[in-house]
Protein backbone atom coordinates (compact mmCIF):
# COMPACT_ATOMS: atom_id res chain seq x y z
CA UNK A 1 0.00 0.00 0.00
CA UNK A 2 1.28 3.47 -0.85
CA UNK A 3 0.10 6.85 0.40
CA UNK A 4 1.37 10.31 1.40
CA UNK A 5 1.97 11.55 4.93
CA UNK A 6 2.29 15.29 5.63
CA UNK A 7 5.30 16.07 7.79
CA UNK A 8 5.83 19.45 9.42
CA UNK A 9 9.37 19.75 8.00
CA UNK A 10 9.69 17.35 5.06
CA UNK A 11 6.30 18.04 3.47
CA UNK A 12 4.63 15.25 1.47
CA UNK A 13 6.33 12.01 2.52
CA UNK A 14 5.76 8.99 0.28
CA UNK A 15 4.95 5.99 2.47
CA UNK A 16 5.00 2.36 1.31
CA UNK A 17 3.74 -0.25 3.78
CA UNK A 18 4.75 -3.88 3.51
CA UNK A 19 3.77 -7.01 5.35
CA UNK A 20 6.57 -8.65 7.29
CA UNK A 21 8.52 -5.44 7.93
CA UNK A 22 9.48 -4.70 11.51
CA UNK A 23 11.22 -1.35 11.28
CA UNK A 24 10.68 1.96 9.51
CA UNK A 25 13.34 2.92 6.95
CA UNK A 26 13.65 6.13 4.95
CA UNK A 27 15.67 7.58 2.10
CA UNK A 28 15.64 10.67 -0.07
CA UNK A 29 14.66 10.49 -3.71
CA UNK A 30 15.46 13.96 -4.94
CA UNK A 31 13.54 16.28 -2.62
CA UNK A 32 10.96 13.62 -1.73
CA UNK A 33 11.35 11.56 1.43
CA UNK A 34 10.38 7.93 0.78
CA UNK A 35 9.52 5.76 3.78
CA UNK A 36 9.06 2.00 4.00
CA UNK A 37 7.00 0.97 7.02
CA UNK A 38 5.34 -2.13 8.52
CA UNK A 39 1.81 -2.89 7.37
CA UNK A 40 -0.81 -1.41 9.70
CA UNK A 41 1.32 1.38 11.15
CA UNK A 42 -0.78 4.41 12.15
CA UNK A 43 -0.01 8.11 11.65
CA UNK A 44 1.16 8.64 15.23
CA UNK A 45 3.60 5.73 15.09
CA UNK A 46 4.87 6.85 11.70
CA UNK A 47 5.42 10.39 12.96
CA UNK A 48 7.36 9.10 15.96
CA UNK A 49 9.57 6.98 13.71
CA UNK A 50 10.34 9.95 11.46
CA UNK A 51 11.08 12.09 14.52
CA UNK A 52 13.67 9.54 15.68
CA UNK A 53 15.39 9.75 12.28
CA UNK A 54 14.82 13.47 11.72
CA UNK A 55 18.29 14.80 12.40
CA UNK A 56 19.95 12.08 10.33
CA UNK A 57 17.49 12.63 7.48
CA UNK A 58 18.05 16.37 7.65
CA UNK A 59 21.81 15.89 7.36
CA UNK A 60 21.47 13.42 4.50
CA UNK A 61 19.26 15.78 2.56
CA UNK A 62 21.68 18.65 3.07
CA UNK A 63 24.68 16.64 1.87
CA UNK A 64 23.17 14.56 -0.92
CA UNK A 65 24.63 15.36 -4.36
CA UNK A 66 22.41 17.40 -6.64
CA UNK A 67 21.40 15.57 -9.80
CA UNK A 68 20.94 17.82 -12.83
CA UNK A 69 19.94 17.00 -16.39
CA UNK A 70 20.23 19.27 -19.44
CA UNK A 71 19.60 18.79 -23.14
CA UNK A 72 22.83 17.93 -24.92
CA UNK A 73 24.35 16.52 -21.71
CA UNK A 74 26.53 13.44 -22.17
CA UNK A 75 26.62 10.98 -19.27
CA UNK A 76 29.62 8.67 -18.94
CA UNK A 77 28.55 5.10 -18.23
CA UNK A 78 30.19 1.68 -18.16
CA UNK A 79 31.91 1.33 -21.54
CA UNK A 80 29.47 3.70 -23.25
CA UNK A 81 28.02 7.21 -23.06
CA UNK A 82 24.46 8.52 -23.18
CA UNK A 83 23.46 11.87 -24.70
CA UNK A 84 20.20 13.57 -23.72
CA UNK A 85 18.32 14.95 -26.73
CA UNK A 86 14.80 16.20 -27.43
CA UNK A 87 12.27 14.77 -29.87
CA UNK A 88 9.03 16.28 -31.20
CA UNK A 89 7.72 13.42 -33.34
CA UNK A 90 6.00 11.31 -30.66
CA UNK A 91 4.47 13.43 -27.85
CA UNK A 92 4.95 12.05 -24.37
CA UNK A 93 7.36 9.33 -25.50
CA UNK A 94 11.06 8.70 -24.97
CA UNK A 95 13.05 7.36 -27.92
CA UNK A 96 16.27 5.37 -27.77
CA UNK A 97 19.11 5.50 -30.27
CA UNK A 98 22.62 4.18 -30.71
CA UNK A 99 25.68 5.14 -32.72
CA UNK A 100 28.47 2.79 -31.67
CA UNK A 101 29.26 3.46 -28.02
CA UNK A 102 27.23 6.67 -27.98
CA UNK A 103 23.62 6.06 -26.95
CA UNK A 104 20.81 8.59 -27.22
CA UNK A 105 17.86 9.19 -24.93
CA UNK A 106 15.48 11.53 -26.79
CA UNK A 107 13.08 13.20 -24.36
CA UNK A 108 9.61 14.55 -25.17
CA UNK A 109 9.56 18.27 -25.89
CA UNK A 110 8.61 20.41 -22.91
CA UNK A 111 9.73 18.01 -20.18
CA UNK A 112 10.84 20.13 -17.21
CA UNK A 113 14.28 18.74 -16.38
CA UNK A 114 14.53 20.83 -13.22
CA UNK A 115 11.47 19.27 -11.55
CA UNK A 116 11.44 16.10 -9.46
CA UNK A 117 9.01 14.61 -11.98
CA UNK A 118 11.27 15.43 -14.92
CA UNK A 119 14.36 14.09 -13.18
CA UNK A 120 12.48 10.91 -12.32
CA UNK A 121 11.42 10.47 -15.95
CA UNK A 122 14.98 10.89 -17.21
CA UNK A 123 16.32 8.51 -14.57
CA UNK A 124 13.78 5.85 -15.55
CA UNK A 125 14.53 6.32 -19.24
CA UNK A 126 18.25 5.93 -18.63
CA UNK A 127 17.69 2.78 -16.59
CA UNK A 128 15.55 1.19 -19.31
CA UNK A 129 18.08 2.11 -21.98
CA UNK A 130 21.03 0.78 -20.01
CA UNK A 131 19.27 -2.43 -19.01
CA UNK A 132 19.57 -3.47 -22.65
CA UNK A 133 23.23 -2.45 -22.71
CA UNK A 134 23.95 -4.43 -19.53
CA UNK A 135 23.29 -7.65 -21.42
CA UNK A 136 25.78 -6.59 -24.10
CA UNK A 137 28.49 -4.98 -21.98
CA UNK A 138 28.15 -5.82 -18.29
CA UNK A 139 27.62 -9.60 -18.39
CA UNK A 140 30.52 -10.35 -20.79
CA UNK A 141 32.79 -8.28 -18.54
CA UNK A 142 31.57 -10.18 -15.47
CA UNK A 143 32.36 -13.48 -17.18
CA UNK A 144 35.83 -12.17 -18.00
CA UNK A 145 36.49 -11.21 -14.35
CA UNK A 146 35.22 -14.62 -13.21
CA UNK A 147 37.55 -16.39 -15.64
CA UNK A 148 40.50 -14.37 -14.33
CA UNK A 149 39.68 -15.37 -10.75
CA UNK A 150 38.98 -19.00 -11.62
CA UNK A 151 35.46 -19.07 -10.16
CA UNK A 152 32.09 -18.68 -11.86
CA UNK A 153 28.37 -19.14 -11.20
CA UNK A 154 26.20 -21.41 -13.31
CA UNK A 155 24.29 -18.41 -14.62
CA UNK A 156 24.45 -14.61 -14.85
CA UNK A 157 21.39 -12.35 -14.91
CA UNK A 158 20.63 -8.63 -15.15
CA UNK A 159 18.43 -7.22 -12.37
CA UNK A 160 16.99 -3.83 -11.51
CA UNK A 161 18.06 -3.25 -7.90
CA UNK A 162 19.09 0.22 -6.81
CA UNK A 163 20.17 -0.27 -3.20
CA UNK A 164 21.14 -3.90 -3.91
CA UNK A 165 23.52 -3.84 -6.86
CA UNK A 166 24.25 -7.56 -6.87
CA UNK A 167 22.89 -10.84 -5.55
CA UNK A 168 24.21 -14.40 -5.40
CA UNK A 169 21.77 -17.27 -4.85
CA UNK A 170 22.50 -19.96 -2.30
CA UNK A 171 20.53 -22.64 -4.16
CA UNK A 172 21.58 -24.53 -7.25
CA UNK A 173 22.03 -23.56 -9.97
CA UNK A 174 24.20 -20.85 -8.44
CA UNK A 175 23.19 -17.57 -10.07
CA UNK A 176 24.65 -14.09 -9.78
CA UNK A 177 22.36 -11.19 -10.62
CA UNK A 178 23.93 -7.82 -11.42
CA UNK A 179 21.83 -4.67 -11.38
CA UNK A 180 21.40 -2.60 -14.53
CA UNK A 181 22.37 0.37 -12.34
CA UNK A 182 25.97 -0.84 -12.32
CA UNK A 183 26.08 0.71 -15.79
CA UNK A 184 26.28 4.13 -14.09
CA UNK A 185 29.49 3.20 -12.24
CA UNK A 186 33.14 3.32 -13.24
CA UNK A 187 34.76 0.08 -14.37
CA UNK A 188 36.76 0.03 -11.15
CA UNK A 189 33.59 -0.07 -9.03
CA UNK A 190 31.79 -2.46 -11.37
CA UNK A 191 34.65 -4.91 -10.92
CA UNK A 192 34.44 -4.50 -7.14
CA UNK A 193 30.74 -5.43 -7.06
CA UNK A 194 31.39 -8.43 -9.31
CA UNK A 195 34.22 -9.60 -7.04
CA UNK A 196 31.96 -9.18 -4.02
CA UNK A 197 29.31 -11.44 -5.55
CA UNK A 198 31.85 -13.99 -6.78
CA UNK A 199 33.18 -14.29 -3.23
CA UNK A 200 29.68 -15.33 -2.14
CA UNK A 201 30.08 -18.49 -4.20
CA UNK A 202 32.55 -19.56 -1.51
CA UNK A 203 31.13 -17.78 1.56
CA UNK A 204 27.37 -17.11 1.69
CA UNK A 205 27.83 -14.59 4.51
CA UNK A 206 29.82 -11.48 5.38
CA UNK A 207 32.28 -13.20 7.69
CA UNK A 208 35.93 -12.20 8.10
CA UNK A 209 36.78 -15.03 5.71
CA UNK A 210 34.43 -13.57 3.10
CA UNK A 211 35.94 -10.10 3.36
CA UNK A 212 39.44 -11.56 3.19
CA UNK A 213 38.49 -13.27 -0.07
CA UNK A 214 37.00 -10.08 -1.52
CA UNK A 215 40.15 -8.26 -0.51
CA UNK A 216 42.24 -10.87 -2.33
CA UNK A 217 40.02 -10.67 -5.42
CA UNK A 218 40.38 -6.87 -5.47
CA UNK A 219 44.14 -6.78 -4.95
CA UNK A 220 43.95 -5.64 -1.34
CA UNK A 221 41.56 -2.74 -2.05
CA UNK A 222 38.25 -3.94 -0.62
CA UNK A 223 37.97 -1.30 2.09
CA UNK A 224 39.00 1.52 -0.23
CA UNK A 225 36.53 0.42 -2.92
CA UNK A 226 33.72 -0.01 -0.39
CA UNK A 227 34.13 3.59 0.75
CA UNK A 228 34.41 4.83 -2.83
CA UNK A 229 31.13 3.14 -3.73
CA UNK A 230 29.44 4.44 -0.59
CA UNK A 231 30.24 8.04 -1.55
CA UNK A 232 29.88 7.69 -5.30
CA UNK A 233 28.19 10.73 -6.96
CA UNK A 234 25.45 8.94 -8.89
CA UNK A 235 24.31 10.76 -12.05
CA UNK A 236 20.70 9.66 -11.52
CA UNK A 237 18.05 10.10 -8.84
CA UNK A 238 18.23 7.28 -6.31
Residue 238: the pLDDT is 81
Residue 187: the pLDDT is 97
The hierarchical CATH code for the domain 136-230 is 3.30.2010.10
- What value, to the nearest 5°, has the Cα angle with vertex 228 and ends 223 and 233? 165
Residue 127: the pLDDT is 98
Residue 63: the pLDDT is 75
Residue 105: the pLDDT is 98
Residue 91: the pLDDT is 87
Residue 231 CA: distances (Å) to CA of 2, 105, 126, 183: 29, 26, 21, 17
Residue 231: the pLDDT is 87
Residue 106: the pLDDT is 98
Residue 66: the pLDDT is 81
Residue 229: the pLDDT is 95
Strands 95-99, 102-108: pairing kind: antiparallel
Residue 149: the pLDDT is 98
- What value, to the nearest 5°, has the Cα angle with vertex 108 and ends 106 and 110? 130
Residue 103: the pLDDT is 98
Which is it for the CA torsion 197, 202, 204, 207, positive or negative?
negative
Task: Give the Cα separation of 66 and 130 in Å (integer).
Answer: 21
Residue 133: the pLDDT is 96
The helix (run of H) or strand (run of E) holding residue 53 is: helix 43-63
User: Mean pLDDT by 10-residue block, N- to C-terminus, for the chain (238 residues)?
Assistant: 93 93 89 92 96 92 84 98 94 93 96 92 97 96 98 97 94 97 98 98 97 98 96 90
237: buried, middle or exposed (CB in 10 Å: 19+, 13-18, 0-12)? Answer: buried
CATH 3.30.2010.10 residue ranges of the chain are: 136-230
Task: Give the Cα separation of 142 and 14 in Å (integer).
Answer: 36
Amino acid sequence: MQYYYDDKEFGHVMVSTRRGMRNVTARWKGDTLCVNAPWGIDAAQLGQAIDRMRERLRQRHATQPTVTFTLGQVIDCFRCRVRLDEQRHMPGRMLFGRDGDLLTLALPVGLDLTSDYGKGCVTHGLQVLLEQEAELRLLPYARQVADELGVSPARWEVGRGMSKLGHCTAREPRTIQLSRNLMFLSERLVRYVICHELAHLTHMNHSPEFHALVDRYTGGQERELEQELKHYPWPIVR
